[in-house]
Structure formats: structure tokens, C-alpha cells
Amino acid sequence: MQEPAILPDLIAAHGLSSKEYARILEIIDRVPSFTEIGIFSAMWNEHCSYKSSKKWLRTLPTQGPQVICGPGENAGVVDIGDGQAVIFKMESHNHPSYIEPYQGAATGVGGILRDVFTMGARPIAAMNSLSFGSFDHPRTKSLVSGVVAGVGGYGNCFGVPTIAGEVRFDQAYNGNCLVNAFAAGLVDADKIFYSAASGVGMPVVYLGAKTGRDGVGGATMASAEFDDKIEEKRPTVQVGDPFTEKRLMEATLELMATGAVISIQDMGAAGLTCSAVEMGDKGNLGIRLDLEKVPTRETNMNAYEMMLSESQERMLMVLNPELEDIAKSVFDKWDLDFAIIGETIAEDRFLIVMNGEVKADLPLKALSGNAPEYDRPWVETPPAKPLNDVVQIDPIDGLKILLSSPNYAAKQWVYEQYDSQVMADTLRAPGLGAGIVRVHGTSKALAFTSDVTPRYVAANPFEGGKQAVAEAYRNLTAVGAFPLATTDNLNFGNPEKTEVMGQFVGAIKGISAAVEALGIPIVSGNVSLYNETDGTAILPTPTIGAVGLIRNIDDAILGLARDDHIAILVGKTIGHLGQSALLAEVFNRVEGDAPPVDLEAEKKNGEFIRANLTWITACSDLSDGGLALAAFKMAEAAGVGVAINSDNTAEIFGEDQARYLVACNFDQAEALMVAAGAAGIPISYVGNFGGNQVRFGDTSAELSALKQIFRSSFEAVVA
């Protein structure tokens, strides 16, 4: 192949600005080769370099006594006691999923699973957070169908339970859906593997599936806005094979037990380029690769294609040379490729050779550790205008509208396509708040949740960022889990727009304040920018994934409400309706400020719930839809009616924070009241469970009729 000339159009097509290209010329003091342009493009794009976000990511609290490894590795690591640790991360696959929904979502799941088992952990749980456009948009149904099938198809075949998640719809996602995938795994705390290369002259080994042309340029594509030529980007989407990934995991974990692994890194965005560069950068070493040794499944692949391919189910390892034969035998056994394709070198150098011809020769640090970093200008999001009056409505009518919206209707059409029971350790499946998985062979369990309310973040990024963390904290607390740590997936529009960058900065500040106050540091994460189509950005969607520990399964709050149970509300109710679900769905108004988040109250009320869980049969946090929706969901799950004393619109649909709805018997309610009084915790009796009616004040409806709406509305729109 005759390589193309390095002209302005080619440079721009690789997502490099004129200033960035000028910097490349300064660094290497010559015109780069075609392969080198590709390498710089891959490593300096937003997806890999975090060039617009690094400044602000450094402000996030990432430390705590429970943290073994924070951001910077493939995933975060948190101590769960008894010599065990949980490894977890959330990552986006937004752009690929919009272009090719099934494979985009499937490979998003595959990529996050590799991040976990690359560090030596066996995956035990998966989650996802999905955002789609409006129900009547022509692409929404096909996107929902394809993405859900892709998530289920990959996760089910691989054999990991999908135990929690969320699905939302808003016209802001019409041209750019969001697919955020989460995975968690268990590992012995003294058997964690890291990616930093060490030792000079050590073999660099390619592991897994063969390299093809799928996904070439994927990372660069994921760092750009969409336009009317989106279909042309379909070849940049990777193709996954979950059965190969399963074999790769088993082979990798077996290999780790041999002592052959010095360091290891999965091949994700930017493939071979990014994995090699990151290993070298973290270990302060250079890397030489001989590309003719790379296993390929297509003929006549050139250096550019091999370096930028994002073919799935691949790993890169630095090997103890004394154990080469043992290591190779493991991969031969699992029928996977094992090939020594290079070595570590002492110089700060990324040397790419193919059949004796140098295709790239670059300073390695310039590609990663010293990649561009921008302090983007930003403007603070203007304060929201005060909310105009909201008329009182019939509470049953309001609840029916919420239940008929796919945003708040039951999502069993989605999660029934996922295997939530594989591995036989799932204690709480999707549909009831945080998912729970038993730590096999112990009395412990881990709880998982993901949360964000984009409307809040758009109206008030600071409070919205706080709220996403606070809701995750409450969801874990509501099942009796002690919140341990968090991962973030920060989805925003074009950071070169000052208002978008202002949303990002505000959300980061809010997230930082909340994780600090609640003691749940950010230990891993992902930033996804340029989520725009034809200049229209998504709602700011900083998704928070959180993990909590249940030290003894007997302490988990897994019960259901029943006849004669008392409904107790923990927390203070003011009746905040700004940016509420009621306002959006019933009145078609997106107005007012996000609800303020009192972090001290969040912490105190959460600690109160966990300290008194022996008196709590069932518990739910209050978020979208307020008391009305929480009470209905608890009643519907239990198959019993509920009567709430109030019919005041603000009281029952308001979305004040730091609140929990508890179901318990009379004696337990009495004990909770006494304990709350002693602790200075706001608590009130708000109603009763029982019968077959849902009642607010004097207005009621049959539970069965509301259940029918709740259980059928989602499928009616998306199927």
C-alpha cells in the first residue's frame, strides 16, 4: 500500500487540530508517517487522553481506608474484608451503540468485563444505564431493541448476572443514545494484577482472538459529534464474540495463577496502540512491537490497521520469560492465540516495525502521560427561574400518568431479556432497586446501583451532581448495604462549548462534594464527551455507579410490605416540585430548580436506616415521583394495597431528597419513632399498607388496575 500524503484534510479527518498537529511536528521534528498520524489520533483523542477533563477529574475525592486502587488502572479496587476485594468500573459505548445498536452495546459489555478480569477478578455482576430519545422518534424502537438484545446477548452468553440498571427516554437523546455498562468482580486482595510494565527486555505477548479490521478508528469516532453522515461510520464499530471472551477470561485467570504475568492490559479503545502505550507509560519504559507477529484473521493488513483495530477479546501482557512455555500451554489449551510480538525497552520510545521496516518511531510519553491537556473555558449554568404555581391534581390521575410513561413504568421487558440468576448468587434481581449478589462461600453480599437524574443536572449541575451520588447512596442504604465507593460515567456534549463545559465543571463539583461528605470515593470511571448530533447536545448525564457491602446476608433489607404494615417516612418533606417527574410527565413542564441536597441530612438519615434495620421489613428511597410513586411500587411488589394520608400534590409528588419510605409492623414503627426522636431524625407516620386499593386521602383506585398500567406501558411503547 502506498501511504497517503499527510495533508490538512487527512489531519482533520483524524480529529487533530492544527495546533495539535503543530505540536506533533515539534515533538518528532519531522512529518509523521500515516501510521504515526493514526497513533497520535488514537492516543490524543478525547476518549483516550481525557484532554478536556483531566484538570477537573483530579479534583475528585478518590481515597479512603477501603480503597486499594483508585483511578488510573483498568478498574477501581475496594477492600471488602476477609482478604477479599471488589473490582468495578462503569464505561460508555454511546457512539458505537447509536451506529450499530446490537454490536455497540454487546462490545460495551465485553469491554467492561475485560477491564475487571484483566485485574485478576472473576466478574460477578453487571449493570447498565441506558438513555434513549423520545418514544415517537423513528429510531427509538430499533435502538432500544438492538441495545437491549446486545447487552443481554453478550452478558448472557458470557455468564454474568445483570442485576440492576436504569432506562430513560428524553428527546435530548434522539440523535445520540447513551449506553453505560458496569461490571464488578471478586478477587483476593493479594492477587490483584496491574498494567504497569516492568523490566527491560521483557517479552510483550499478544493474547486472545485474532486481529481484524473491525473497529479501526473507533476511539476517534467516539470523540466526535455526529452529523448526517453517521452511517459512514458503521465500519468503526467493533464486533464481539462472548464465547471467545469467556474462554479468554478462564485462560487469563489460569495464566495469572502460574506466576507468568508481570503486567497485563486489555485491548479496548485504540486497541494495540493504547494498551501498549499505557503499559509502557505507567512503567516508565518503551515498547517495541513487530507487527508481522500479530495474529490476524484478515489478509494484507497494514500497520495502520493493525495498530488501530479494535477487534474484541484481546489482551496484551508483559511476560516472565522463564515461564513462557507454561503460559503458552494455557492459551493453547483454551484454543486462543499466544504470540510474543515485541519487548520492553529502556528508552522513552514506541517503536513499530513490520517485516523489518520501521512504521512508527515516537516518544512514548508524548502519546500518553504527556498528551495534550486543556483548560477549557466555561461559564456557570445560569440559576433556574423560580417555579410558577403548580395546580393541585387528582393524585390517582397523576399516578396513572406516571405509571403509563415508559420512564416510570415497569421495565421487565428489558430485564427479563437478561440472565440475572446465572452463578446462582443473586439475592435481588432487577426491578426492585439496588441489585444484590452473595459473595460466594461467605455470609457477605454486595449491592449495586446506578443513578442520575439528567433534568436536575441540566437545571443545576452542582445540585444535580450531588443528587446522583446521594440517590446511589440511598439506594444502597435502602437494602441495608454500607456504601463503599463509586464509579462515574460522565456523559456530556461538546466541551468546546462554554455552556457544556460549565455543566461538566458544575457536576464535577457537586459529585466531589457528595462523595466526600458521604465517604464513597470515586475509584474508577469514564468520560464521554461530544455526545451531540448536528450541534444539539444530550442532557448532561453524569451516571454514578455505586457498590455497598452487606456484612451479613441476614442484615439485608429484602422483605415486602404486608397487610397491617405501617408506612413511615424518614426525612423532611417540603414539597419540591421543580424539575419533578410530575411536572415533566403530567404538565409537560421542565421548569424550576433541582431539589437541594442536604448532604449532612443524607448521611444522618442513611446512618439511621442502617443502624435500625432490624426494625425495618421493607424500605425504598424517595426520588422521581416522590412519595406517591415509592408507595405504589412498594405496594405493587408486595401485592397489597396502600393508603397514604395526604392527597396534597406537593407532599405526595414532591422530590425532596434524603428521604426513605419504610414498611414495618406497629411495634417496629414505635421503636423507629423513639430511635428517631433520640437521634434528631425527622420521621412521620404517613399511612398504612393493606387491602387491594391504592389511596391518597379520599381518592383511590384498585391496585390491580394500576398494576396493569404499570406492567404494560413500557412494552406497549418500545416493543
Find the mean pLDDT for residues 488-508. 98
By percentage, how much of the chain surpasses pLDDT 70? 97
When pLDDT is cut at 50, 70 and 90, the band that residue 234 belongs to is very low
Give residue 519's pLDDT: 98
Q: How confident is the model at residue 369 (pLDDT cuts 50, 70, 90)?
A: confident
Yes or no: say if 176 and 97 are a contact pair by the CB < 8 Å rule: no
Q: Output the pLDDT for position 520.
A: 98
Closest CA to 581 of 594, 570, 563, 569: 594
d(CA 570, CA 558): 18
Q: Cα–Cα distance between 117 and 253 in angstroms, integer? A: 7
Q: What is the mean pLDDT of residues 204-230?
A: 70
3-state secondary structure of 541: strand
Q: Tell me, what's the pLDDT at 217?
A: 63
Average pLDDT over residues 478-493: 98
Q: How far is CA 12 from the centre of its chain?
A: 30
Kindly list the catalytic residues: 47, 93
Task: Give the pLDDT confidence of 672-685 residue by residue, as tens digits.
Answer: 999 999 999 999 99
Q: How far apart are CA 544 and CA 486, in angstroms?
A: 7
Q: Is 66:77 a contact under the CB 8 Å cutoff?
A: no
**CA distance linking residue 694 with residue 475, whole number of Å:** 24
100-124: pLDDT as tens digits: 999 999 999 999 999 999 999 999 9
> What is residue 1's predicted lDDT score, i.e. its pLDDT?
58
Name the pLDDT band for 236 (thresholds 50, 70, 90).
low
CA atoms within 13 A on the CB side of 600: 3
Per-residue model confidence (pLDDT) at position 429: 87
- pLDDT score, position 229: 52
Give the residue ranges of DSSP H helices in 553-597: 581-586
Q: What would the pLDDT profile of 510-525 be if each residue is shown by its tens digit?
A: 999 999 999 999 999 9
Task: Look at residue 325 and tell me whether its pLDDT is greater than 50.
Answer: yes
d(CA 372, CA 55): 11
pLDDT band at 269 (very low <50, low <70, confident <90, very high): confident
In the predicted model, is pLDDT for residue 226 greater than 70?
no
3-state helix, strand, coil in the chain (%, to 5): 40, 25, 35
pLDDT at 230: 45
Nearest Cα to 406, choosing from 132, 702, 694? 132
Residue-wise pLDDT tens digits, 189-205: 999 999 999 999 999 99
Question: Do 290 and 203 meet the contact criterion of CB atoms below 8 Å apart?
Answer: no
The CA distance from 425 to 439, in Å, is 7
Determine the Cα–Cα distance for residues 143 and 410; give it in Å rounded to an integer. Answer: 19
d(CA 131, CA 92): 11
How many CA atoms does the CB half-sphere of 68 hold within 13 Å?
Answer: 22
What is the 3-class SS of 294-319, one letter each residue? Answer: CCECCCCCCHHHHHHCCCCCEEEEEE
pLDDT of 225? 54
pLDDT tens per residue, range 153-181: 999 999 999 999 999 999 999 999 999 99
Task: Give the pLDDT confidence score for residue 223 in this predicted structure.
Answer: 46
Q: For residues 623-651, b (16+ Cβ closer than 10 Å) or e, as one string?
A: bbbbbbbbbbbbbbbbebbbbbbbbebbb
Cβ atoms of residues 641 and 690 within 8 Å: yes
User: 158 to each of 113, 343, 418, how far by Cα in Å?
Assistant: 9, 32, 12
Statement: residue 310 has pLDDT above 50: yes
Task: Specify the pTM.
Answer: 0.95
And the C-alpha cell for 527? 468520560
* pLDDT higher than 90, residue 94: yes
| Residues sharing a CB contact under 8 Å with residue 365, sequence separation 6 or more, in sequence order | 281, 348
Using an 8 Å Cβ cutoff, are 366 and 360 in contact?
no
Q: Tell me the average pLDDT across 74-79.
A: 97
Residue 243 has pLDDT above 70, yes or no: yes
C-beta separation of 642 from 688 below 8 A: yes
Q: What is the pLDDT of residues 600-644, one digit of tens each?
A: 999 999 999 999 999 999 999 999 999 999 999 999 999 999 999
CB atoms closer than 10 angstroms to residue 415: 23
Helices (H) and strands (E) in the chain, counts: 25, 28
Tell me the CA distances in angstroms from 630 to 380, 403, 654, 656, 682, one per residue in order: 33, 12, 11, 13, 18
Which strand (E) or helix (H) includes residue 220? helix 218-221
Q: What is the pLDDT of residue 235?
A: 58
Cα dihedral 181/186/187/188 (nearest 10): 150
Q: Which amino acid is at 509?
A: K
Rounded to whole angstroms, the Cα distance separating 71 from 413 reads 35
Instruction: State the average pLDDT over residues 137-166.
Output: 96
**Grid cell in block for residue 500:** 457544556
**Does the pLDDT value for residue 214 go beyond 90?**
no
Mean pLDDT of 658-671: 97
Cα separation of 137 and 718, whole Å?
11
Which residue matches cell numbers 481484524? 212
What is the reported pLDDT for 522? 98
